[in-house]
C-alpha cells in the first residue's frame, strides 16, 4: 500500500487524542494491578468497540498485543494498524464460529476462546500449531460461552492431539456476584495447574483485583483503559 492509502484509513488527529488519554489510563490500570500484588501479571488491552485509532495509539506506545471480540472487527483493524504503526499480536477473545477462523488466521497470535473441538479443528487446519487457550464457563450457566469444568480435561487433551500449542485457560467472571466470581477464578486456576498449563487468563475492568488474588497470569482490560465502548 502507498502512503496515501494509510492516510485515508485513519485519522492522525484522533490518534493523538487517543494517545493522551491512554497514557494516563494505562498508568492507572498498572497502579490498580500493583496495589493488589499484580505487577508481574500480563495486561492485555482490549480494543473491541473502539475506533482503530485507539489501537494505533496503543501500538505506538509499545503495547504489541491487543484483544478483540469480533472477527470482522479484527480483520478490518489489523491491516490499518500495521500500516500506521506496526504489527500487533492479536488475541481473539470473543465467541468464535468456525467459519470465521480463516478470515483472521494470519493475524491472531493467541486464540483465547476455544471452547469446542470443532473450532480447534478449524484453527489447526488454518493455522497449524497455533497458540490457544481453552475457554471455561465459570458460571455453569449453559447459555454462557465456554466449556464446562466437567469437560475441560477432555477438551484440552483433544486439542493437544491436534498439535495446537495449548498454553492456558480463559474465563469470564460472573458480572454482579463477587463470591461466585472468586470461586470460579479459584477453580480456573486449579484447572490450569492440574492440566500443567501456563496461562490463566482471568480478570477484566470489573474484577481484576479478584482475579489477581486468585492467581491470574493475564488480565484483559477494555473500558478502564480505552474508556466506555463507542
Ligand X SMILES: *Cc1c(COP(=O)(O)O)cnc(C)c1O
Contact 58, 17 (CB under 8 A): no
Smallest distance, ligand X to C-beta of residue 228, A: 9
- Rounded distance between C-alpha atoms, residue 35 and residue 209, angstroms: 9
Nearer to ligand X, 65 or 69 (CB): 69
Contacts to ligand X by CB under 6 A:
46, 48, 69, 93, 172, 204-206, 220-224
Smallest distance, ligand X to C-beta of residue 115, A: 11
Q: Is 62 left (phi over 0), alpha (psi -120 to 50) or beta?
A: left
Smallest distance, ligand X to C-beta of residue 209, A: 13
* Widest Cα–Cα separation across the chain: 53
Smallest distance, ligand X to C-beta of residue 201, A: 8
Nearer to ligand X, 9 or 205 (CB): 205
Q: How many helices (H) and strands (E) are present in the chain, helices listed first?
A: 10, 8
Nearer to ligand X, 9 or 65 (CB): 65
Q: What is the DSSP letter of 50?
A: S
Nearer to ligand X, 29 or 105 (CB): 29
- Of 57, 71, 52, the closest CA to residue 10 belongs to 52
Nearest-CB residue for ligand X: 222
Nearer to ligand X, 48 or 51 (CB): 48
- Rounded distance between C-alpha atoms, residue 207 and residue 118, angstroms: 30
- Of 192, 86, 173, 115, the closest CA to residue 123 belongs to 115
Smallest distance, ligand X to C-beta of residue 49, A: 8
Amino acid at each position: 500500500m502507498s502512503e496515501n492509502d494509510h492516510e485515508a484509513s485513519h485519522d492522525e488527529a484522533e490518534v493523538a487524542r487517543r494517545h493522551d488519554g491512554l497514557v494516563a489510563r494505562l498508568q492507572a490500570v498498572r497502579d490498580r494491578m500493583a496495589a493488589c500484588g499484580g505487577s508481574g501479571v500480563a495486561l492485555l488491552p482490549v480494543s473491541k468497540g473502539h475506533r482503530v485509532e485507539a489501537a494505533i495509539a496503543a501500538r505506538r506506545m509499545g503495547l504489541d498485543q491487543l484483544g478483540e471480540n469480533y472477527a470482522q472487527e479484527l480483520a478490518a483493524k489489523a491491516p490499518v494498524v500495521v500500516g500506521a504503526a506496526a504489527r500487533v499480536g492479536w488475541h481473539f477473545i470473543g465467541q468464535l464460529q468456525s467459519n470465521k477462523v480463516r478470515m483472521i488466521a494470519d493475524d491472531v497470535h493467541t486464540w483465547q476462546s476455544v471452547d469446542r473441538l470443532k473450532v480447534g479443528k478449524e484453527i489447526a487446519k488454518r493455522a497449524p500449531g497455533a497458540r490457544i487457550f481453552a475457554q471455561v464457563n465459570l458460571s455453569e450457566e449453559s447459555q454462557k460461552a465456554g466449556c464446562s469444568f466437567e469437560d475441560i480435561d477432555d477438551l484440552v487433551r483433544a486439542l493437544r492431539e491436534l498439535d495446537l500449542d495449548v498454553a492456558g485457560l480463559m474465563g469470564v467472571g460472573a458480572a454482579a456476584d463477587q463470591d461466585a466470581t472468586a470461586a470460579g477464578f479459584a477453580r480456573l486456576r486449579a484447572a490450569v495447574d492440574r492440566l500443567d498449563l501456563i496461562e490463566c487468563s482471568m480478570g477484566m475492568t470489573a474484577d481484576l483485583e479478584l482475579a489477581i488474588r486468585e492467581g491470574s497470569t493475564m488480565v484483559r482490560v477494555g473500558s478502564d483503559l480505552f474508556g466506555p465502548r463507542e
